[in-house]
Amino acid sequence: MKRWPTRIESLLYLEYDIQQNKPGLLGAVTTLIGMLDLNILAVTSIGQTRRGLLLEAHSDTKIRTLQEALLQVAAIKVTAFRRPTLLDRIALRHGKRLDMAELNPPTYRFVREELGVLVDFLGDTLLEGGNRIIGIRGMPRVGKTEAAIAACVYANKRWILLSSTIIRQTIRTELLLGESTNSIFLIDGITSTTRGNDAHWSLLKNVLEMPTVKIIEHPDVLLRDGRLKIDFDFIIEIRHHEDDDIRCEDIAMSFSAFDLS
């Protein structure tokens, strides 16, 4: 992951949509920024018509001056002018803005060839920490567990499988000493629902109340079971292709290892 050598308080994210694609437009914008003595740390094309810039800015007066000047440029439309968010950092890194497909809960969609973008997005989320519950939807063998574990590695976090089909079916009923500290808990909704005993469900209840990040595969199955009330902070959907449907009813509730990773 690229690290910019400056304080986050001094970073500014500028994004604009090109209204008139004139030759030298980017040069004119960057020249204006340079004349105000604002440092440009990164410039990225986002899709076909947008540009994203990461700026280092220490003067509120110059920031306001830049914003007012850009609003007068008819060839562009400013779409973001703020301290960079996680989604802004992903846009700068990959040239792709992640837009929410649904709002309640926030849902982000990926195809399998975008696993690199997903790992960065999920990994940066894990670095931010906090008490979050994240769901991952997807049909079998699309990369759900792969993405979750890769994000844990990216964030240098220990992952704990409470239920899973990796290598062998896993059903945990207790935590070992120290496992609740700086850990990301991974839960497979189908495995827990079909194979979990009372001790396993008691463990899930306790873990969901811990102030750490939990990642739940097949979240709809766990919700449909009804034994736990879960409010997801956001949902990730992974598909092989954009037009694929994710149909819980088509996922077998009786399976062998490797079926649902």
Residue 167: predicted pLDDT: 65
State yes or no: pLDDT of 65 exceeds 60.
yes
Banded pLDDT at 217 (limits 50, 70, 90): very high
Q: Which DSSP category does 176 fall into?
A: P
Residue 139: predicted pLDDT: 87
For range 33-56, the mean pLDDT: 94
Q: Which residue has the higher pLDDT, 1 or 12?
A: 12
Residue 9: predicted pLDDT: 66
Q: State the Cα–Cα distance between residues 28 and 24, nearest whole angstrom.
A: 6
Banded pLDDT at 179 (limits 50, 70, 90): confident
Residue 238: predicted pLDDT: 95
CA 84, 153, 241 angle in degrees (round to 5)? Answer: 75
State yes or no: pLDDT of 7 exceeds 70.
no
Does pTM top 0.95 for this prediction?
no
Residue 1: predicted pLDDT: 42
Q: Which DSSP category does 179 fall into?
A: T
Banded pLDDT at 177 (limits 50, 70, 90): confident
Letter string b/e over residues 157-195, b meaning 16 or more CB atoms within 10 A of that residue's CB: bebbbbbbbbeebbbbeebeeeeeeebbbbbbbbbbbbe
